[in-house]
Amino acid sequence: MTRHFAVLLLLVLALSSCRDYDYYPHLTADDGLTPPEQFARYGQEQAAVIAIAREFARAHQGEAPEELARQAEAAVRYARSLPQVADVTADPLGHRLTVRFNSGWRTGITPLDD
């Protein structure tokens, strides 16, 4: 009886320890980082980064590859509309954009849902 209980307990522990592979909420949270409003005050390019990140999060539709591609496409379209942005490269499955500004500064941008 105790052996069955131990096996059942191990099974419950093993199943409860399985991770959730939905990383999007962790990715879009700004916990532990410089607050977005403070970062945006550092300069025009930093303000553009925050605006692009927020637009990236706003366009979120789901986790299917097609939905991620549409999300990245919307963020790229918004980024290209900004005058200080020189080039944008999207990685839809990785939830990130690489943006190069006219000054030469290149940065990675993930969605910011605040």
Q: Looking at residue 18, what is its pLDDT?
A: 72
Higher pLDDT, 88 or 1: 88
- Residue 27 above 90 pLDDT? no
Mean pLDDT (the chain) is 88
Q: Give all strands (DSSP E) within 25-72, no chain letters.
A: none
Is the pTM above the cut of 0.85?
no
- 45 pLDDT exceeds 70? yes
User: Are 88 and 79 in contact, with CB atoms under 8 Å apart?
Assistant: yes
Contacts of 69 (CB under 8 A, 6+ apart): 92
Q: What percent of the chain has pLDDT over 70?
A: 94
β-partners of residue 99 are: 88, 107
Question: How many beta carbons lie within 10 A of that of residue 89, not counting itself?
Answer: 13
